[in-house]
Amino acid sequence: MKDALELELRQLPGVSFVSFSEEGGRHYVELVLAEGVDHAKVREEAARSLVNHMEAPAEIRVLTMPAAPPPEPQHSGRPRLTVVLPPETGPAAIEVQLSRGGRQYVSQALPGDTAAVGHAVLEALRGLEIPVHYEVVGLHALPSGWGAGLLAVLRDTSTGQLRRGVASGQAPADAAARAVLNALNRSI
């Protein structure tokens, strides 16, 4: 039933991502829209689809994915990321390397665990003394037709506000690290 609903919601104009969640017995449907799309119109059309496909009521959350910022110049103070995947033989750990202003910090994560990669990125940022007051809520795979992309959802530990970032990469670990950094783009 959710598969049919997801397909129907993806057909709505401007919808680029759909996810379902449940917290405390409440159901949520999150829709990520391109910039410039009328939220009210999409919310109204999505509500009609929900009535036809879900037995329990669900809250619709509509978010806008901002356009990608122009590339940063090489000399900026932004952190630079390198994800080193484990070799086929040898230690089985993914290394997340962040550098900024001549300093470098390396954190490790278990292969196959994108959430651990997200935590490693936050640890590396803190290791570079960049204040990040966020925790990883989850990482969600984008549809397979879009490549190895992931949506990262982070929560501000002081306000509870959610941030989202989307990125792709050569491997899920690379996509996870880049998605977490994308979610923090405006604050680091």
In this prediction, residue 118 has a pLDDT band, given cuts at 50, 70 and 90, of very high
Q: What span, in angstroms and rounded, lies between the C-alpha atoms of 18 and 3?
A: 11
Do residues 163 and 133 make contact, with C-beta atoms less than 8 angstroms apart?
no
Residue 61 has pLDDT above 70, yes or no: yes
Measuring CA to CA, how many Å separate 156 from each of 93, 124, 187? 27, 17, 11
Do residues 110 and 93 make contact, with C-beta atoms less than 8 angstroms apart?
yes
Residue 154 has pLDDT above 90, yes or no: yes
Structure tokens at 138: 């989850």
Residue 72 has pLDDT above 50, yes or no: no
DSSP 107-163: EEE-TT-HHHHHHHHHHHHHHTT----EEEEEEEEPPGGG-S-EEEEEEETTT--EE
- What would the mean pLDDT of 176-187 be, rounded to a whole number? 90
Q: What is the pLDDT, as a whole number, of residue 146?
A: 65
Question: Which tens digits make up the pLDDT trace of 11-55?
Answer: 888 888 888 888 888 888 888 888 888 889 999 999 988 888 888
Task: Please give the radius of gyration of the chain, using alpha carbons only, rounded to the nearest integer.
Answer: 18
Q: What letter would DSSP give residue 87? A: P
Structural domains in the chain, sorted by start: 2-65 (3.30.300.30), 80-183 (3.30.160)
Per DSSP bridges, beta strands 26-34 and 15-23 are antiparallel
Q: What span, in angstroms and rounded, lies between the C-alpha atoms of 182 and 188?
A: 10
CA atoms within a 13 Å half-sphere pointing along the CA-CB vector of 21: 13
Higher confidence at residue 188 or residue 153? 153
Q: What mean pLDDT is reported for the chain?
A: 83
Higher confidence at residue 74 or residue 182? 182
- What would the mean pLDDT of 176-181 be, rounded to a whole number? 92
Do residues 118 and 136 make contact, with C-beta atoms less than 8 angstroms apart?
yes
Q: What span, in angstroms and rounded, lies between the C-alpha atoms of 49 and 6?
A: 10
- Classified as helix, coil or strand, 44 is helix
Residue 186 has pLDDT above 90, yes or no: no
Task: Report the greatest alpha carbon distance in the chain.
Answer: 56
Q: What is the pLDDT, as a whole number, of residue 151?
A: 92
Q: What is the pLDDT, as a whole number, of residue 89?
A: 57
Question: Which tens digits make up the pLDDT trace of 73-115?
Answer: 444 477 888 877 666 555 578 888 998 888 899 999 888 889 9
DSSP 140-153: EEPPGGG-S-EEEE
In this prediction, residue 70 has a pLDDT band, given cuts at 50, 70 and 90, of low
